[in-house]
Amino acid sequence: MLSGNIKIFELLKRSYPEVKKHSVELGDKTYANMFTQHPELKELFKNTPPGQSQRLVDAILFYCQEVENYELFYDRLDKIAHVHIQAGIKNEFYPYMKEAFVKAIKEVFKEKATEELVRAWTYGFDSLSNELIHAENLIRKYTN
């Protein structure tokens, strides 16, 4: 399994520059897809600052680039987790965002969205989500 994860992170790092070029479009499509599938979430995001869709993709890109740099990674993760808690983001929202993000990758990259690429970025999203959920749960547990 470790070998497979290493290959996934290698693909994420190789594809990073291309994904970064399309990060604004990816973010916009991700949120549009999520709100189409789950319009009830629009209210939750009504007060988000401009550029929120870009922040989503930037966080995934950051995770895929800096996961080995634990101090930098966990500092940013902690900040994101606190913002999520303050905004009312719940664990059950992550699969909705994942579904929307994967669809956005396929829409943006079309024929370049190979099964391997989609699987790698899905893994990256899942890994970041799991880290955030864990951090958010710890914060909730120790601050209540």
Parse the chain into domains and list their residue ranges.
2-143
Q: What's the pLDDT tens digit per position in 125-134?
A: 998 899 999 9
Give the CATH class of 2-143: mainly alpha
> What would you report as the CA-atom Rg of the chain, rounded to the nearest whole angstrom?
15
Q: What's the pLDDT tens digit per position in 56-66?
A: 888 888 877 77
Q: What is the mean pLDDT of the chain?
A: 86
For residue 10, count CB atoms less than 10 angstroms from its CB and return exposed for 0-12, middle for 13-18, buried for 19 or more: exposed
Q: What's the pLDDT tens digit per position in 37-96?
A: 999 888 887 777 777 777 888 888 887 777 667 677 788 889 999 988 988 889 999 999
First-to-final CA distance of the chain:
37
Give φ, ψ of 109 to 5 degrees: -95, -5
